[in-house]
Structure 1
């Protein structure tokens, strides 16, 4: 599986968990049973990491979302933002720019253009501040 396919599967599972609030292992089992979402160790690493850092990631989203409160952000957008932020902060193999670029691929595939712009704005502001921090 390509990294993009891994990320797409992880996105679908994170989004599903937001919708159903089920135990993630149950969602893994269902995904494997219906064979529509690939679940392997790479997918689980992104999903588990994103869910483990959910509160921190949501605080970052709240901090950089100037136009929407967290409760007003669609679950699709929130899933994309969480994964991109998780990868930016915790995945040593994914540069921040790559995480943002891949988030935009997901946003352009699954959301409206105004939502994609919102996601890009949040991640862009985060990236600029992260760059300043690391300089």
Structure 2
């Protein structure tokens, strides 16, 4: 069974790729499976599908906490990271909020530019402070 971090990383890469393509998710999954460089299993597919199913809601949350940039002006790499983190924080009871944020910052450190890391961390920090306290202890 794949580790959660591997699932998250694969879901991030596939979500990011989808932002550039009009292809259906299933087509993106098939291509990734053919190339065989990204983990593609049911857990990854579910996570990506759920992120896109809730994209509008996730983007509204991002907009609320991104006071300096409109969602349309946020670099796609940051947007993919933020959507994933907020989705996990809100909808995956196995992922505590602080873990979702920490993992998002790790992804930003690996893929984003230096100012973007602070941006991602700032948006997610503000988001986490807005959550009811019991959310922090899932």
Q: Show the counterpart of 2:94.
A: 93
Q: Shift of residue 3 of structure 1? A: 1.2
Where does 1:50-69 land on structure 2 (aligned, <5 Å)? 50-69=51-70
Please list the CA deviations of residues 70-129 of structure 1 after superposition, one character each: whole Å capped at 9, or x if unmatched.
111011000000000000010010000000000011000000110010000000000001
> Residues of 2 paired with 1:21 and 1:133: CA distance?
39
Q: Show the counterpart of 2:32.
A: 31
Q: Shift of residue 132 of structure 1? A: 5.2
Alignment partner of 1:127 is 2:120: no
Where does 1:73-88 land on structure 2 (aligned, <5 Å)? 73-88=74-89
Residues 10 and 39 of structure 2 are in contact (CA less than 8 Å); yes or no, is this contact kept in structure 1? yes
Q: Shift of residue 42 of structure 1? A: 1.3
| Total equivalences in the alignment | 135
Structure 2's unaligned 5+ residue stretches are none
> Residues of 2 paired with 1:50 and 1:10: CA distance?
9
TM-score (norm 1): 0.95
TM-score (norm 2): 0.93
> Residues of 2 paired with 1:134 and 1:87: CA distance?
12
Cα distance, 1:102–1:134 mapped onto 2, change above 3 Å? closer
The CA RMSD measured in Å over matched residues stands at 1.4
Please list the CA deviations of residues 43-78 of structure 1 after superposition, one character each: whole Å capped at 9, or x if unmatched.
112111101100000000011001111111011000
Q: Show the counterpart of 1:18.
A: 19
Runs of 4+ in structure 1 off by over 3 angstroms are 131-135
Give the secondary-structure state (helix, strand or coil) at the position aligned to 1:20: coil
Residues 11 and 48 of structure 2 are in contact (CA less than 8 Å); yes or no, is this contact kept in structure 1? yes
> Residues of 1 paired with 2:83 and 2:22: CA distance?
16
